[in-house]
Amino acid sequence: MIKNVFIFLSFLTLVSCGSQSENETINTTKKFSEVTAFNPQTGQPLTIDDLSTDLFTNDMDGEGGAILENFEQTNGISETGEVLKRAQDSLLFGWTPTGEYNSYISPQCHYEKLNRIIASETGGAQGLARSVQSWQQQCEEQLSRGHTNNIGILLQFDNVNYDLVRNDIKKLQFEFDNNEVVKGLLALKPGKRPLVIFQTGVFDDAKDGGVVRNYFMNLYDETPFSVLVLGSNTGVEYVKTNHNLTMGGFDEGRQIVKIAQMLSEDPLYKDRIEDIHVVGVSLGSNSALFSSLYNSYEPEGLSKIKSVLAFCPVVNLKPTMESVYKNTPRGIFYGILTNQVLQKVYNDVPGLSQLLRPSLFWTNQEIFPAITNLAVRSYNQKTRDIPWGMAPFQNTQISNIDGVWDFNNFISYAEQVTTPTLVVYAKDDPLVKPSFNSIDLSQSLSGWNSNIGVLSFDNGSHCAFNLGESWPTVSNLIRNYILKNSSYQSTSLQDVVLEPDIPQKSLRERQKITKYVFSVKAKQEAINVKVSVFDGDSIAVGNSRCRIYDNYNGPESCYQSYSYSFDIQKFSTVGVNTPQNDFEAQRLGRWLNTRASLVDQDGSLVLGGSRWPAGIKFHGQFDHSP
């Protein structure tokens, strides 16, 4: 029997983590995570002194080649300089997302088009992935413009500003029949909602951090969903609590399914949950994938998980681990990251001191056999002491490293999945190599399982899709994929068009609206919008006419902007009210840029046209906890 969920009703208090001990080899001043950008020459986490224009001509993998598009040849814009400036600002001041597009955007590449594609697709997750892939290929240049370097992307992603503690979050603790404990953070919205279980990646706890901040904004602030964040089995908190270190979805995927069952049956929560969905990142995606497998074997009517989203996933554990511990800059960085964790749990894991001699720093040649040995011990104990009771692995026993690898290779079991599952990866991922993960999975499917779809983006680095492919793209992909697989119905999801007093302006034939950005400020009774217009009759660089350029890829001299403000009280019917502080203002601004559209008198999106906005279309209501 699974034991009851223990709920800590105190509000969440988050504290910054202490720095790792300094030594002659590694000098760290902050807690690093797998989304910390590292120097492609040295493997060391980047500092402000490392930043230079030359740095951004290579990717973090150190395997050669600049990822940056050469805009200098087309319009005189130096993307390298823009990336360098953003990188410097991110390390010095952090980065506060606005929810806007990376650059100018056409109606064909706007999220409204993406949402229609998702809503109309009838071919399961695989058909959806193919349709979105076709759209992405047409729109990649617009979506990722200015954000095609995986170093610059991760610098922003990891240093994102978001005051997580301002949300009403509770600490939860789940205890299983083998006495293991998994900790989580629960943010519930009023009423009965879809619940998203978010599984963190390698070495991550259910605590504040770059990954949690980014995905919490997408999953909670910009959706009607409640969210449960789960710490990883490789996190310091889990290891210290359970005195073992293990890895992979074979075990963690089972925990996700059990937690879904616990919450669905708990009297405190069962009436607050419409249905349950799983989103994972990195190693947590391996667990998300295995949760889709376990869930597929639950008897009809008992399966709790309605969909799975796996971002930047580890699909096959063995080649991924072998690759990240190689003697490359990537391996050096991963060694630093692993040392950071092992130093903190050294005295908490029985047998670890026998596998690793006391040291201020261990090499990858020492780390890899030690952690794999610990994984074998953990899996052997778990599958031996209590028979493994979940299909398709009933009574499985794992006694050697080959078993650990075999039972954490999702590709071997993908054909058995019936839970809708969407895999999303970036081609420029520097840590989890797509070649033996997502690409291998896609090639193995060969069209035979419509329940699994694999979608690739050119840019996104490691899990930072909201930067590489524009914030509205990822926000709407997540929201609409989950809603497509949910039974949740509410009038708050319906489109509403409001018509504030927008001063009208006549545009010429060669003037086209190419972007708009909403913003709000704390305690100000206004919604602000800036509209950008491409003017083909303007003079560009070199005294040429702007008409020779594409509307969405011209020099800045080809664009004009117009700013307006509207009384915020006119939007109270869609849940929009005056923000009382900067946190609320930033959240509302992101929501507007991912969920509100400027439309003309016919209700059509104004992007790409010469008709001035006449109204604002809200895609659902602004919906959040104070």
Give DSSP secondary structure letters for 198-244. EE--TT--SS-SHHHHHHHIIIIITSS-EEEEE--TTSHHHHHHHS-
Q: Cβ(5)–Cβ(186) under 8 Å?
A: no
177-182 contacts, C-beta under 8 A, 24 or more apart: 177/1, 177/2, 177/3, 177/386, 178/382, 178/385, 178/386, 180/242, 180/255, 181/238, 181/241, 181/242, 182/230, 182/231, 182/233, 182/238, 182/255, 182/259
Looking at the DSSP assignment, which residues form a beta bridge with residue 316? 409
Q: Cβ(186)–Cβ(272) under 8 Å?
A: no
Write down the pLDDT at residue 66: 38
pLDDT, one tens digit per residue, over 212-222 is 999 999 999 99
pLDDT, one tens digit per residue, over 104-123 is 999 999 999 999 999 999 99
Mean pLDDT across the stretch 30-50? 91
Mean pLDDT across the stretch 277-303? 94
Write down the pLDDT at residue 301: 72
Flag whether pLDDT at 358 surpasses 60.
Answer: yes
Confidence grade of residue 78 (pLDDT, cut at 50, 70, 90): low
What is the percent of the chain with per-residue pLDDT over 70, rounded to a whole number? 92
Flag whether pLDDT at 206 surpasses 70.
Answer: yes
How far from 595 is each of 40, 332, 617, 620, CA to CA, in Å?
A: 37, 41, 8, 7
Flag whether pLDDT at 279 surpasses 50.
Answer: yes
Q: Cβ(551)–Cβ(567) under 8 Å?
A: no
Backbone angles phi, psi at 605, to 5 degrees: -55, 135
What single DSSP character describes residue 189? P
Confidence grade of residue 386 (pLDDT, cut at 50, 70, 90): confident
Give the β-pairing of 193-199 and 495-498: unpaired
Confidence grade of residue 289 (pLDDT, cut at 50, 70, 90): very high
Write down the pLDDT at residue 540: 85
Write down the pLDDT at residue 235: 97
How far from 490 is each of 26, 38, 275, 487, 571, CA to CA, in Å?
A: 53, 45, 14, 10, 19
Flag whether pLDDT at 146 surpasses 70.
Answer: yes
Report the half-sphere exposure of 505 (CA within 13 A, side-chain side): 20
pLDDT, one tens digit per residue, over 577-607 is 999 999 999 999 999 999 999 999 999 999 9
Question: How many residues are given for the chain?
Answer: 626
What single DSSP character describes residue 179? S
The chain-wide mean pLDDT, for the chain, equals 91
Residue tagged 């209501």 (tokens): 621
What is the side-by-side strand order in the sheet with 511-519? 511-519, 526-535, 559-567
CA distance 40 to 255: 36
> Exposed, middle or buried: residue 179 (CB in 10 Å: 0-12, 13-18, 19+)?
exposed
Mean pLDDT across the stretch 75-93? 78
Residue scoring higher pLDDT (375 or 6): 375
Write down the pLDDT at residue 8: 32
Distance of CA 271 to the CA centre of its chain: 28
pLDDT, one tens digit per residue, over 439-498 is 999 999 876 789 999 999 999 999 999 999 999 999 999 999 999 999 999 999 999 999
What single DSSP character describes residue 266? -
